[in-house]
Amino acid sequence: MPTLTADMILVMIMIGIAVFLFIVEWVRVDVVAILMMVTLPLLHLVTPAEAFSGLSSNAVVSIIAVIIIGAGLDKTGVVNRLVGPILKVAGNSQSRIIIFISLTVAIISSFMQNIGAAALFLPAVQRISKNLKIPIGKLLMPIGFSAILGGTVTLVGSSPLILLNDLMIPFKLKPFGLFDVTPVGLALVGAGIACFVFFGRFILPGGKTDEQAAAAEEREEENHIMEELGLPWELTTPEDFTHYREPVTVDALRRRYLVNVVALVEPPDFKVLGPAPDQEIRSGVDLVVYGQEKDVRRMAEEEGMAIKQDLEVFKGELAEHASGTVEAVVAPRSNLAGKTLNQVDLAERFQVAPLAVYRQGMVYRAELGELPLRVGDAVLLHGTWKRLELLHAEGSLLFTTPLDADQLRPEKAMFAGIWLGVALIMVIVFKIQLSVCLMTGALGMIITRVLSIDEAYQAVDWRTVFLLGGLIPLGIATEKTGAAAWIAHTVLNAIGTVEPIVLLAVIGLLATVFTLVISNVGATVLLVPLVVNMAIAAHTDPRMAALVVGLATSNSFILPTHQVNALYMGPGRYRSVDFMKAGTVVSVIFLIVMIAMLYLFY
């Protein structure tokens, strides 16, 4: 057993700090990674070249290229073309719809980030749910889980698998090919879909109620939300409205009467759509509010306002063809997460008025301005279609109803498919390095104008890039100092001699637990050096041990911490207990199928 050294202790302290910061989330995960990247060379645990080698690694360049390729597929509207044929085959059957859409999502997810595949299908699934009267909660969770499982089908399907070969370099192990994991991944996808087809009535929200009852329940819930928000009312304030009193603001009326002001006149005759919360309401002006009749009449009586029979002043601006109400979801990695609506200031920037926020079964209306947004929150917005399109284009919110169909480039879909095919052929046939192949496909999309270079830059999630690049040096330090070997021998001495299949099962369970509390990338970087040393010491295939980590870090279903789960939580009207119920079953099946397939094929 290696002797414990000062450098090993320092590395383990840095690992502890990283895990602690991942869990408490005092700073973002990419900031933690940058902290590791800077601190490790200062402590002389890695060289400066090793500290920044992650940013130019095969894994990081591959991630950048995969994101750009995924953005190209999104921009050409490939998903919209797939939905029609899927529905023709599936018909009106909920089970067949789950099977075919889940398979399609899984296949797409195997070649692009799973959160991208999930986001692409969200509007389409919403439309299917409404058109076929199938509860959205019965569809989104199986499809979201399939997007996560699809990341195990190829070596570019998820960040942990892309990282895997780079983390194995110090051990001089044979790298995995693009489709080496495909048999296991396909089995996992099939098992996940079968689980929902056969046991969905027991583990999905709604329990054993039949589809019609569940659909009626969901429609009742939607109607309840709309009833709470009410209808648009146009009113006129009295001439002495502002006399001898504190200024009355838009936010004050919302808090006091539960009404949302979506339009008003600023003297002398300037119309303001989507007024800011601190916008003052003047005397003798017209305004339009959304609210229940009893609340609107109470406000009118107490404030001396006159209610009009119909919309008059704002009849044109608030007509159906000009404006409307949409639901938008706070997207993963959105810059809105953690901020309040007052800080975001949608009214000032886009002239859009938030009406309500839906989160885990709760509808928030009165204290909207002070409510910190979370990923997956469903926000109900009102504004003109043009302004909503501008907000949608920013990318911070994912609209469940597409507004920018005219901005898609369906004529470029063929080029997007060709360049994806070129990248795959280069990997499979010519055995060129993965990052070079994928970047060739990304560059081809830019040259053929599937995407502009600026759109490609904007598509890349630089937080993911720095998360990967910053944690790779931590893996290098863990192996270089001998800390991984020391921990591995200590663990093996504690558990004693075990069969290889048992060791792989333990590793899979360990990776599953780690990925629930820290990021899947962090879990992969920390565990691969450790489990490879454990496998070598236990005379087990170290490549299989590393592969178990790469696969099991996708086993993130029990909590809504995975980006896909967080994205679907709001639109699916899920609670944390819904993920625990279904996720526990799927996680157990995942581990059993993964170990069985590795035993059979490898």
pLDDT digits (tens, 9 = 90+) for 219-260: 455 555 555 677 889 999 999 898 878 889 998 998 899 899
How many Å apart are CA 45 and CA 43, to the nearest integer?
5
Give how far Cα 187 sits from Cα of 99, 386, 502, 588, 592, Å.
14, 45, 20, 14, 11
The helix/strand/coil state of 581 is helix
Strands 378-384 and 323-330: antiparallel
Top mean pLDDT of 188-202, 317-331, 376-390, 418-432 is at: 188-202
Can you say how many angstroms the Cα of residue 190 is from the centroid of all Cα atoms in its chain? 22
pLDDT digits (tens, 9 = 90+) for 150-184: 999 999 888 899 989 989 988 899 999 889 999 99
What secondary structure letter does DSSP report for 369?
A: G
At 152 the pLDDT is: 94
Where are any strands of DSSP class E within 373-512? 378-384, 397-399
At 404 the pLDDT is: 46
Instruction: Indicate the average pLDDT of the chain.
Output: 85
Q: Is the pLDDT of residue 413 over 70?
A: yes
How many Å apart are CA 492 and CA 487, to the nearest integer?
9
At 403 the pLDDT is: 58
Contact assessment for residue 109 and residue 151, using Cβ atoms and an 8 Å cutoff: yes
Name the residue among 568, 359, 376, 569 with its Cα closest to residue 368.
359
More confident residue, 404 or 366: 366
Q: Count Cβ neighbours within 10 Å for each residue of 88-104 and write b for 16 or more, e otherwise.
A: eebeeebeebbbbbbbb
Give how far Cα 118 sits from Cα of 22, 94, 146, 307, 564, Å.
24, 19, 9, 45, 7
Matching residue, tokens 């054993």: 208
Where does residue 48 rank: exposed (0-12), middle (13-18), buried (19+ CB within 10 A)? exposed
The CB density around residue 170, as the number of other CB atoms within 10 Å, is 16
Q: Is the pLDDT of residue 503 over 50?
A: yes
At 214 the pLDDT is: 46
At 209 the pLDDT is: 41
Q: Is the pLDDT of residue 402 over 70?
A: no
- What are the φ and ψ backbone dihedral angles of 234, each rounded to 5 degrees? -105, 135
Matching residue, tokens 């333990």: 506
What secondary structure letter does DSSP report for 402?
A: -
Contact assessment for residue 339 and residue 373, using Cβ atoms and an 8 Å cutoff: yes
pLDDT digits (tens, 9 = 90+) for 271-299: 888 888 888 999 999 999 988 889 999 99
Top mean pLDDT of 29-43, 309-323, 555-569 is at: 29-43
Contact assessment for residue 318 and residue 348, using Cβ atoms and an 8 Å cutoff: no
At 361 the pLDDT is: 67
At 406 the pLDDT is: 45
The average pLDDT across 321-333 equals 80
How many Å apart are CA 114 and CA 328, to the nearest integer?
20
Name the residue among 547, 602, 440 with its Cα closest to residue 163.
547
What secondary structure letter does DSSP report for 45?
A: S
Q: Output the DSSP codes for 431-472.
A: ---HHHHHHHHHHHHHHTTSS-HHHHHHHS-HHHHHHHHHHH
Confidence of residue 591 (pLDDT cuts 50, 70, 90): very high
Q: Which residues, listed in sequence order, are joined to residue 354 by a DSSP beta bridge?
A: 381
Whether the bond between 268 and the residue before it is cis, its omega within 30 degrees of 0, is yes
Contact assessment for residue 377 and residue 357, using Cβ atoms and an 8 Å cutoff: yes
The average pLDDT across 430-453 equals 92
More confident residue, 50 or 572: 50
At 206 the pLDDT is: 61
Q: What is the pTM of this model?
A: 0.75
Q: Which amino acid is at 519?
A: S
At 26 the pLDDT is: 87
pLDDT digits (tens, 9 = 90+) for 75-84: 887 766 777 7
Q: Which helix (H) or strand (E) holds 271?
A: strand 270-273
Q: Which residues contact 258 (CB under 8 A, 6 or more apart)?
A: 291, 292, 295, 365, 366
Q: Which amino acid is at 197?
A: V
The rounded percent of the chain whose pLDDT value lies above 90 is 35
The CB density around residue 562, as the number of other CB atoms within 10 Å, is 28
Q: Which residues contact 21 (CB under 8 A, 6 or more apart)?
A: 27, 32, 35
At 119 the pLDDT is: 77
Confidence of residue 344 (pLDDT cuts 50, 70, 90): confident
pLDDT digits (tens, 9 = 90+) for 452-501: 999 899 888 888 889 888 988 998 999 889 888 898 888 888 877 788 89
Q: Which helix (H) or strand (E) holds 86?
A: helix 78-90
More confident residue, 176 or 321: 176
